[in-house]
Structure 1
Amino acid sequence: MDELTTSIVRIDFSNEGGGKSNRRMESMMCAPGDLVELRLEPKNTFDENAVAGCSDRGKQLGYVSAERAPLIGKRMKEDDATAVF
């Protein structure tokens, strides 16, 4: 499979549950090479193509940009994909 790169957006938002679990802090805890889980969110009220990115600790980092989400979502449905930080 070809490599694709993308940025993660909406990292300045808190994760569900509030508290000190914010996305920017979670992204700062990631190191290059860490696995990132990508999750399709077809029921997302803002974008049916939304793809969330989560750390290997299960905390959300943010979303794949709206411009790249349709392509990445399509590739996720076609192939087993691995995402890394």
Structure 2
Amino acid sequence: MTLAVVGIDFANEDRVRSNRRFEVMASAPGDPVGLRPEPRNRHDPNAVAVFSARDVQIGYLSAERAPLIGARLRRGEEVRAIFQGLRGSVAYIRVRFGGEVPSLPRAADRPAVSVGDDDFHPDPDGPEWGA
């Protein structure tokens, strides 16, 4: 499943106010990412923060998908995620349930239409093709 990571242009609230976009640009497709529910988030109790392989926050799952993923994480389900790519102001990750590592789509499975960056491989029936 491909999920959007939003908020990459905001600074983190850590001591050094780390730069999320810089961290996204330093990530390679296939790098592992961490998902952490934030039930005490002042803006959204369903928020799920996304962290790079270097443990720097790169943003949040979109508000549409965060409740589903957060609920699965809170139930203790094994959810694995990898960095997929960047397109404009949104990063994308691939998520898989059940403990197996997700994979990027094969080149042959990519849509025939050009969607931008070579590192962006949307699911043909995923949310990024919506109207």
TM-score interval for Structure 1 and Structure 2 normalised by the shorter chain? 0.7 to 0.9
Is the counterpart of residue 80 in structure 1 residue 81 in structure 2?
no
Percentage identity across aligned positions?
56
Greater fraction strand: 2
Measured in 1, the distance between the counterparts of 2:10 and 2:43 equals: 15
Matching of residues 1-85 of structure 1 within 5 Å = 4-16=1-13, 17-18=15-16, 21-78=18-75, 79-85=77-83
TM-score, normalised via structure 2 length: 0.58
Measured in 1, the distance between the counterparts of 2:64 and 2:80 equals: 20
TM-score, normalised via structure 1 length: 0.88
Measured in 1, the distance between the counterparts of 2:29 and 2:11 equals: 22
Does 1 or 2 have the higher relative contact order (CA < 8 Å, sep 6+)? 1
Measured in 1, the distance between the counterparts of 2:78 and 2:36 equals: 13
1:36-81 Cα offsets, whole Å, 9 max, x none, are 0000000000000000000011100000000100011122234111
Measured in 2, the distance between the counterparts of 1:82 and 1:15 equals: 23
Give 3-state SS (helix, strand or coil) of 1:11's partner.
Answer: coil
Gaps of at least 5 residues in structure 1 are none
User: Which one has a bigger Cα radius of gyration?
Assistant: 2
Q: Which amino acid aligns with 1:81?
A: V
Give 3-state SS (helix, strand or coil) of 1:73's partner.
Answer: helix
Give 3-state SS (helix, strand or coil) of 1:75's partner.
Answer: helix
Give 3-state SS (helix, strand or coil) of 2:2's partner.
Answer: coil
